[in-house]
Amino acid sequence: MLDSEMNGRLGDFGLARLYEHGANPSTTRVVGTLGYLAPELPRTGRATTSSDVFAFGALLLEVACGRRPIEPKALPEELVLVDCLWEKFKEGRILDMVDPRLNGDFDENEILMVLKLGLICSNDNPNARPNIRQVMRYLDGEVELPDEMRKHISSNHEGFDEFLHSLASSSFDTGSYIGNRDMDNSFTSFGYSPQSLPQARGETR
């Protein structure tokens, strides 16, 4: 969170309280909020600076669009915010996604920069995401965002979007991914170990 002087403040320790540290020493748990979790995390079980950039991109898009990264009450094609934005971007209608509560009272160049940067940071492919130093240079106006952008889809992340849509279709009450979920808090933890990875990806041995 930011205070009135734009200083960053830690705002929530909810996941630290919810997660049972050391409950299963043979399993590494990925804990986070759906929509902010990079798609590679359930597969690798390892947080990286690139997965942090993904979460930052999700936050940028949430602020600019005025809705959560995953909106269970939305139409299926609008469930995942970043996917919906990519479609609007390809259609040249990305400004349609700006928070309607702004009533058009925004600088078009600034909001375009935020939306495009959010998309770049939230790319499915971690290798296509900028590092945080590059992100800061974009925000400071030191470098221009690329004119051409495209969504990179990695075959390693197949099944993640299907998982999100399956959660929506079941009102976030059920799911087949390994892990514990408390969807009232939009919180998900994924269990990961070399033995459990195939099941976590919906595969068979």
Q: How far apart are CA 109 and CA 145, in angstroms?
A: 11
More confident residue, 32 or 105: 105
69-76 average pLDDT score: 87
The yes-or-no verdict on residue 159 having pLDDT over 60 is: no
More confident residue, 27 or 99: 99
Architecture of domain 14-200: Orthogonal Bundle (1.10)
Residue 171's pLDDT is 44
Q: How far apart are CA 104 and CA 99, in angstroms?
A: 9
Q: How far apart are CA 169 and CA 171, in angstroms?
A: 6
The yes-or-no verdict on residue 190 having pLDDT over 60 is: no
Q: How far apart are CA 73 and CA 59, in angstroms?
A: 19
The yes-or-no verdict on residue 181 having pLDDT over 60 is: no
Q: pTM above 0.85?
A: no
